[in-house]
Chains A and B, each alone.
Chain A
Amino acid sequence: MLVVTAQGYGRQGYAMGTDDRLSLVLFSGTDDKLQAAAVLTVGAAAMARPVDVFLQYWALDAFRADRILKDHGVSPEAGPEGERAMRDQGKTHWSELFRQAKDLGQVRIQACADSMEMFHITTDDLDPLVDGIWGVASFFMEADGPVTFI
Protein backbone atom coordinates (compact mmCIF):
# COMPACT_ATOMS: atom_id res chain seq x y z
CA MET A 1 0.00 0.00 0.00
CA LEU A 2 1.35 3.42 -0.91
CA VAL A 3 0.56 6.44 1.19
CA VAL A 4 1.05 9.98 -0.09
CA THR A 5 2.92 12.12 2.42
CA ALA A 6 4.29 15.64 2.36
CA GLN A 7 7.61 14.29 1.14
CA GLY A 8 6.25 11.89 -1.43
CA TYR A 9 5.31 8.25 -1.29
CA GLY A 10 5.88 6.36 1.92
CA ARG A 11 5.62 2.68 2.63
CA GLN A 12 3.23 1.10 5.03
CA GLY A 13 4.92 -0.22 8.13
CA TYR A 14 7.62 2.40 8.28
CA ALA A 15 7.61 5.98 9.46
CA MET A 16 6.10 7.99 6.64
CA GLY A 17 8.26 10.54 4.93
CA THR A 18 11.58 9.23 6.25
CA ASP A 19 14.15 9.21 3.48
CA ASP A 20 17.10 8.17 5.63
CA ARG A 21 16.97 4.48 4.77
CA LEU A 22 20.30 2.73 4.26
CA SER A 23 20.12 0.35 1.29
CA LEU A 24 23.09 -1.99 1.03
CA VAL A 25 23.79 -4.48 -1.73
CA LEU A 26 26.32 -7.03 -0.53
CA PHE A 27 28.09 -8.79 -3.38
CA SER A 28 31.47 -9.71 -1.88
CA GLY A 29 31.68 -12.65 0.47
CA THR A 30 35.03 -11.97 2.13
CA ASP A 31 35.19 -11.40 5.88
CA ASP A 32 36.64 -7.87 5.60
CA LYS A 33 33.84 -6.55 3.40
CA LEU A 34 31.13 -8.32 5.38
CA GLN A 35 32.67 -6.89 8.56
CA ALA A 36 32.58 -3.35 7.15
CA ALA A 37 28.98 -3.81 5.99
CA ALA A 38 27.96 -5.15 9.40
CA VAL A 39 29.56 -2.17 11.16
CA LEU A 40 27.61 0.24 8.91
CA THR A 41 24.41 -1.67 9.56
CA VAL A 42 24.76 -1.63 13.36
CA GLY A 43 25.66 2.05 13.28
CA ALA A 44 22.66 2.95 11.14
CA ALA A 45 20.34 0.85 13.32
CA ALA A 46 21.64 2.60 16.45
CA MET A 47 20.90 5.94 14.77
CA ALA A 48 17.32 4.70 14.23
CA ARG A 49 17.74 4.49 10.43
CA PRO A 50 15.97 1.61 8.71
CA VAL A 51 18.33 -0.71 6.82
CA ASP A 52 17.75 -3.08 3.91
CA VAL A 53 20.52 -5.53 3.10
CA PHE A 54 20.28 -7.36 -0.23
CA LEU A 55 22.54 -10.41 -0.59
CA GLN A 56 23.90 -11.39 -3.99
CA TYR A 57 26.51 -13.81 -5.23
CA TRP A 58 29.37 -14.50 -2.78
CA ALA A 59 27.79 -12.53 0.05
CA LEU A 60 24.75 -14.78 -0.14
CA ASP A 61 27.03 -17.82 -0.13
CA ALA A 62 28.66 -16.54 3.09
CA PHE A 63 25.23 -16.44 4.77
CA ARG A 64 24.68 -20.18 4.30
CA ALA A 65 23.88 -21.71 7.69
CA ASP A 66 26.63 -24.32 7.47
CA ARG A 67 29.42 -21.90 6.60
CA ILE A 68 28.54 -18.52 8.10
CA LEU A 69 31.19 -18.87 10.83
CA LYS A 70 33.86 -20.33 8.56
CA ASP A 71 36.87 -18.38 7.28
CA HIS A 72 35.77 -16.45 4.18
CA GLY A 73 39.17 -14.91 3.47
CA VAL A 74 39.79 -11.23 2.78
CA SER A 75 39.90 -9.02 -0.32
CA PRO A 76 43.06 -9.30 -2.46
CA GLU A 77 44.05 -5.71 -1.64
CA ALA A 78 44.46 -6.64 2.03
CA GLY A 79 47.59 -8.72 1.45
CA PRO A 80 49.00 -10.90 4.24
CA GLU A 81 49.84 -7.86 6.38
CA GLY A 82 46.35 -6.37 6.05
CA GLU A 83 44.73 -9.67 6.85
CA ARG A 84 46.86 -10.07 9.97
CA ALA A 85 46.00 -6.52 11.09
CA MET A 86 42.29 -7.22 10.66
CA ARG A 87 42.33 -10.56 12.46
CA ASP A 88 44.48 -9.17 15.29
CA GLN A 89 41.96 -6.43 15.94
CA GLY A 90 39.73 -9.17 17.30
CA LYS A 91 36.46 -7.56 16.33
CA THR A 92 33.08 -9.12 17.03
CA HIS A 93 32.19 -11.45 14.13
CA TRP A 94 30.12 -9.82 11.40
CA SER A 95 27.25 -12.26 11.83
CA GLU A 96 26.95 -11.27 15.50
CA LEU A 97 26.97 -7.58 14.49
CA PHE A 98 24.11 -8.19 12.04
CA ARG A 99 22.25 -10.00 14.83
CA GLN A 100 22.68 -7.02 17.16
CA ALA A 101 21.61 -4.63 14.39
CA LYS A 102 18.39 -6.59 13.89
CA ASP A 103 17.74 -6.51 17.61
CA LEU A 104 18.32 -2.74 17.69
CA GLY A 105 16.29 -1.47 14.80
CA GLN A 106 14.43 -1.99 11.54
CA VAL A 107 16.90 -4.17 9.67
CA ARG A 108 15.86 -6.53 6.88
CA ILE A 109 18.26 -8.97 5.27
CA GLN A 110 17.00 -10.37 1.98
CA ALA A 111 18.47 -12.93 -0.39
CA CYS A 112 18.58 -12.25 -4.12
CA ALA A 113 16.28 -14.73 -5.88
CA ASP A 114 18.61 -15.05 -8.86
CA SER A 115 21.64 -15.87 -6.71
CA MET A 116 19.58 -18.43 -4.78
CA GLU A 117 18.87 -20.14 -8.07
CA MET A 118 22.50 -19.98 -9.10
CA PHE A 119 23.53 -21.88 -5.96
CA HIS A 120 20.49 -24.19 -6.11
CA ILE A 121 19.61 -23.39 -2.51
CA THR A 122 16.43 -22.66 -0.54
CA THR A 123 15.83 -20.52 2.55
CA ASP A 124 16.40 -23.67 4.65
CA ASP A 125 20.06 -23.51 3.62
CA LEU A 126 20.46 -19.96 4.91
CA ASP A 127 21.20 -18.65 8.38
CA PRO A 128 18.07 -17.42 10.23
CA LEU A 129 19.50 -13.87 9.94
CA VAL A 130 18.10 -13.86 6.40
CA ASP A 131 14.46 -12.74 6.44
CA GLY A 132 13.41 -13.88 2.99
CA ILE A 133 13.91 -13.69 -0.75
CA TRP A 134 13.61 -10.62 -2.91
CA GLY A 135 13.94 -10.06 -6.63
CA VAL A 136 15.71 -6.98 -7.93
CA ALA A 137 12.38 -5.22 -8.48
CA SER A 138 11.30 -5.79 -4.86
CA PHE A 139 14.63 -4.39 -3.70
CA PHE A 140 14.28 -1.23 -5.78
CA MET A 141 10.69 -0.76 -4.71
CA GLU A 142 11.99 -0.43 -1.14
CA ALA A 143 15.27 1.35 -1.93
CA ASP A 144 14.07 4.61 -3.42
CA GLY A 145 17.20 6.46 -2.26
CA PRO A 146 20.89 5.87 -2.88
CA VAL A 147 22.17 2.29 -2.97
CA THR A 148 25.55 1.28 -1.58
CA PHE A 149 27.25 -1.67 -3.29
CA ILE A 150 29.85 -3.59 -1.31
Chain B
Amino acid sequence: MSETITKTLDLKGLSCPLPIAKTAQAIRDLQPGELIESLATDPGAVPDFNAWCTSTGNVLVEQTEDAGVFRFVIKKQ
Protein backbone atom coordinates (compact mmCIF):
# COMPACT_ATOMS: atom_id res chain seq x y z
CA MET B 1 0.00 0.00 0.00
CA SER B 2 1.45 3.32 -1.03
CA GLU B 3 -0.47 5.57 1.37
CA THR B 4 0.93 6.29 4.82
CA ILE B 5 -0.94 5.24 7.93
CA THR B 6 -1.35 8.24 10.22
CA LYS B 7 -2.27 6.35 13.36
CA THR B 8 -2.23 2.77 14.60
CA LEU B 9 -4.42 1.51 17.45
CA ASP B 10 -3.60 -1.68 19.34
CA LEU B 11 -7.04 -2.90 20.44
CA LYS B 12 -6.06 -6.52 20.98
CA GLY B 13 -7.80 -8.13 23.95
CA LEU B 14 -10.59 -5.54 24.07
CA SER B 15 -14.11 -6.84 23.69
CA CYS B 16 -17.14 -5.42 21.90
CA PRO B 17 -17.86 -2.52 21.54
CA LEU B 18 -14.54 -1.00 22.64
CA PRO B 19 -12.58 -1.61 19.40
CA ILE B 20 -15.20 0.44 17.53
CA ALA B 21 -15.55 3.03 20.29
CA LYS B 22 -11.78 3.61 20.51
CA THR B 23 -11.50 3.84 16.72
CA ALA B 24 -14.41 6.30 16.56
CA GLN B 25 -12.69 8.35 19.26
CA ALA B 26 -9.25 8.34 17.59
CA ILE B 27 -10.46 9.10 14.06
CA ARG B 28 -11.68 12.50 15.25
CA ASP B 29 -8.04 13.70 15.40
CA LEU B 30 -7.41 12.76 11.75
CA GLN B 31 -7.89 14.90 8.67
CA PRO B 32 -10.26 13.65 5.96
CA GLY B 33 -8.39 11.26 3.67
CA GLU B 34 -5.91 10.16 6.34
CA LEU B 35 -5.64 6.50 7.29
CA ILE B 36 -6.07 4.80 10.65
CA GLU B 37 -5.09 1.20 11.36
CA SER B 38 -6.89 -0.81 14.06
CA LEU B 39 -5.67 -4.18 15.34
CA ALA B 40 -8.27 -6.25 17.19
CA THR B 41 -8.81 -9.80 18.39
CA ASP B 42 -12.54 -9.57 19.15
CA PRO B 43 -14.31 -11.75 16.54
CA GLY B 44 -17.22 -9.30 16.54
CA ALA B 45 -14.85 -6.70 15.13
CA VAL B 46 -15.21 -8.07 11.60
CA PRO B 47 -18.94 -7.42 11.20
CA ASP B 48 -18.73 -4.37 13.46
CA PHE B 49 -16.02 -2.49 11.54
CA ASN B 50 -17.92 -3.13 8.32
CA ALA B 51 -21.19 -1.88 9.85
CA TRP B 52 -19.52 1.11 11.46
CA CYS B 53 -17.86 2.18 8.20
CA THR B 54 -21.10 1.75 6.24
CA SER B 55 -22.99 3.79 8.80
CA THR B 56 -20.46 6.60 9.31
CA GLY B 57 -19.24 6.93 5.72
CA ASN B 58 -15.60 6.19 6.56
CA VAL B 59 -14.01 3.79 4.08
CA LEU B 60 -12.69 0.37 5.06
CA VAL B 61 -9.82 0.15 2.58
CA GLU B 62 -8.18 -3.00 3.89
CA GLN B 63 -9.20 -5.92 6.10
CA THR B 64 -6.85 -8.81 6.84
CA GLU B 65 -6.42 -11.52 9.48
CA ASP B 66 -3.17 -12.96 10.73
CA ALA B 67 -2.99 -15.52 13.56
CA GLY B 68 -6.22 -14.35 15.18
CA VAL B 69 -5.45 -10.64 14.85
CA PHE B 70 -7.78 -8.68 12.62
CA ARG B 71 -6.32 -5.62 10.93
CA PHE B 72 -8.52 -2.86 9.59
CA VAL B 73 -7.29 0.13 7.61
CA ILE B 74 -9.85 2.91 7.46
CA LYS B 75 -9.80 6.13 5.48
CA LYS B 76 -11.47 9.04 7.21
CA GLN B 77 -14.37 10.49 5.29
Contact = CB atoms under 8 A, between A and B. Distances in A.
Interface stretch (A24-32, A40-48, A65-73, A116-124): A40-48
B17 interface: yes
Interface residues of A, number: 14
A25 B23 CA distance: 27
A123 to B, nearest CB: 27
Contacts of A91: 15
Contacts of B52: 46-47
Interface in A63-108: 89, 91-92, 100-101, 103-104
A46 to B, nearest CB: 4
A39 interface: yes
Interface string B13-52: 0011110110111000000000000000000000000011
A46 B15 contact: no
Contact of A45 (B16, B21, B51): B21
Interface residues of B, number: 13
Nearest to B17: A43
B18 A92 contact: yes
Given A47-B52, A47-B55, A47-B56, A103 B25 contact: yes
15 contacts: A39-B16, A43-B20, A45-B21, A45-B24, A46-B21, A46-B23, A46-B52, A47-B51, A47-B55, A47-B56, A48-B55, A89-B15, A92-B18, A103-B25, A104-B25
Interface of A: 39, 42-43, 45-48, 89, 91-92, 100-101, 103-104
